[in-house]
Amino acid sequence: MKTKITLLTWMAVNNDPNALESLLKKLGQKYDVEKVIYLYQKEYAEKLEKVKPLSSAINPVEVNVKNPTAHKEIYEIIKREILPMVNDEPNLFINVSSGTPAMHSVWLILYAGGVFPDGTRLVSSQINRKTGGTTCDNVDFPIDTYLSELRRYEKENPKEAIYKPEYVKSEARKKALEQIRVYASIQSVPMLLLGERGIGKSRLVESVVSKIKKKDVVSVACGTLDSNLAESAMFGHKKGSFTGATADKKGYFGEADGKILFLDEIQDLPKGVQRKLLRTLQDKKHRYRIVGDDKESTADVELVCASNLTDSELRKKLDPDFYDRISFYRVVIPPLRECREDIETDWNEVWKTVRLDSSPKDAPMDKYLEKYFKTSRLSGNFRTLQSIAYQFIAWNGKKTIEEILKDLPADDSPNGTFDIGEFSEFQNLNWKEATKLFQQKLAKYSCDKYGTQEAAAQKLECTSKTLQNAMK
């Protein structure tokens, strides 16, 4: 029995219906072509009258391409309109021969990005002008990009929402992901990720950084380390080196040899371990000493640290020299409320990871939820979206979206009020004093967020001198 396949192809304006007929006959020798998604431009619609009789499997799809030579326009249209049609196709064949050179290139770019279903094959069909025969060859295109690795990770972990760089709309998130892409490509230089709780720092390390570096991740939640045993946990120990050391232990640093060591909530790492780790990072061979060992060990480790504190808060918590060493490459992951354009996509991704088999396939949405996404603080970021999704699943239609949103915590509910605690330091100040304090806080926050006074001043549409004066 022949395998059923779906063929995706552009109209060959100068060669169809002959080219398509030859391709279908060639594929038909081995496969059952069950569906043909036939992309065409409106100005060539009259050609469909000669194409449709070739097969009942042909499904013409009009694509509004204004400039058939514009790579970006074609890329965006295919990604937005055509990919949803083929996401569930188990045996997809894409003919890269028909259409303009720009159309050919886009198929290759998307294929390299890993966006098509597993098992998708690229084919190239050509008609021999002399003999009239048709060739149909597989296109061997084994480009391995971090985007293709990211899509593979997504397919292997369907219950884990991940960032999708190619779908990002907000400038703030684009900037952060581009910084991660650039910094992660540099070997042996630590990276520091800053961002609020629930923003997905661990997910970024495991699904993006690891794919760029092509290395596995050893994750350590620094807050779980016992202060008395933290050095042993990090660097390992020899049997008998202290009471309770009944066997040799490798330690996280040794386990991360040839891998990425991810230290989450780095502010909780004990100062003694910070200083020892600093000495190791400063050494090109990453030499360190296991507790109770009289010899030095080495490990090829890539260090990534993360914190939910702001840059200024983290500086106060960490040893100054250690902070300087781990923050050469610093990336601030913006909260969801600063990426409103991406929230609907985020919501759809979160829904896919938490929905039950009995839940609707499409994420719930109405005017109340749309307004909520535009106005809420989303204090828990992705965790807030997960919480809402779980509420929908629990009530299963017994409560409306409006009712569910009203039951959310005050700071995230549609009619939420400010916690007066947030303004307690302003309460006993007069207007002039409170304004000065607010300007000082805004200036410090902006400089932390945007990295430099110049960048913060540009964003706030003021001068660097104004910020300097505000922070005095």
Which pLDDT belongs to residue 471? 84
Position 55 in a domain? yes
On whether both 275 and 183 belong to a single domain, the answer is: yes
Q: Which parts of the chain sit beneath pLDDT 70?
A: 127-134, 140-163, 410-424, 427
Dump strand ranges (E) for 112-171: 121-127, 134-138
On whether both 345 and 321 belong to a single domain, the answer is: no
Position 414 in a domain? no
Please report, to the nearest 10 degrees, the dihedral formed by the alpha carbons of residues 121, 127, 133, 139 taken in order: -20
Which pLDDT belongs to residue 195? 94
Give the domain range for residue 446. Answer: 420-470
On whether both 324 and 434 belong to a single domain, the answer is: no
The residue out of 138, 163, 183 marking a domain boundary is 138
Position 284 in a domain? yes
On whether both 26 and 158 belong to a single domain, the answer is: no
C-beta separation of 378 from 387 below 8 A: no
* Torsions phi, psi for 135 (to 5 deg): -105, 150
CA 308 to chain centre: 18
On whether both 349 and 447 belong to a single domain, the answer is: no
Which pLDDT belongs to residue 156? 54
CA distances from 419 to 380, 411, 412 (A): 16, 8, 11
Q: How far apart (Å, rounded) are the C-alpha atoms in residues 165 and 156?
A: 18
CA–CA–CA angle 66, 72, 75 (5° rounding): 90
Position 259 in a domain? yes
On whether both 173 and 317 belong to a single domain, the answer is: yes
Which pLDDT belongs to residue 93? 92
CATH code for the domain in which residue 321 is found: 3.40.50.300
On whether both 271 and 176 belong to a single domain, the answer is: yes
- Residue 65 makes CB contacts below 8 A (sequence gap 6+) with 41, 73, 74, 77
Position 143 in a domain? no
Q: How far apart (Å, rounded) are the C-alpha atoms in residues 73 and 79?
A: 10
CATH code for the domain in which residue 61 is found: 3.40.50.10770
Position 145 in a domain? no
Q: How far apart (Å, rounded) are the C-alpha atoms in residues 142 and 205?
A: 25
Q: How far apart (Å, rounded) are the C-alpha atoms in residues 90 and 257?
A: 39
pLDDT tens, position by position, 70-116: 888 898 889 888 988 888 888 999 998 888 888 888 888 888 777 78
Position 144 in a domain? no
C-beta separation of 213 from 257 below 8 A: no
The residue out of 138, 171, 186 marking a domain boundary is 138
On whether both 284 and 383 belong to a single domain, the answer is: no
Residue 36's DSSP bridge partners are 7, 58
Q: How far apart (Å, rounded) are the C-alpha atoms in residues 280 and 290?
A: 12
* Domains identified in the chain, total number: 4
The residue out of 138, 172, 194 marking a domain boundary is 138
Position 187 in a domain? yes
Judge if the upstream peptide bond of residue 90 is cis by omega within 30 degrees of 0: no
Q: Determine whether 145 is exposed, middle or buried from the number of CB atoms within 10 Å of its CB (0-12, 13-18, 19+).
A: middle
Residue 442 neighbours by CB distance under 10 Å: 15
On whether both 26 and 171 belong to a single domain, the answer is: no
On whether both 342 and 399 belong to a single domain, the answer is: yes
Which pLDDT belongs to residue 275? 95
Which residue, chain included where needed, has tokens 């039950």? 356
Q: How far apart (Å, rounded) are the C-alpha atoms in residues 80 and 31?
A: 29
On whether both 158 and 279 belong to a single domain, the answer is: yes
Q: Determine whether 430 is exposed, middle or buried from the number of CB atoms within 10 Å of its CB (0-12, 13-18, 19+).
A: exposed
On whether both 188 and 281 belong to a single domain, the answer is: yes
Which pLDDT belongs to residue 410? 63
Residue 296 neighbours by CB distance under 10 Å: 12
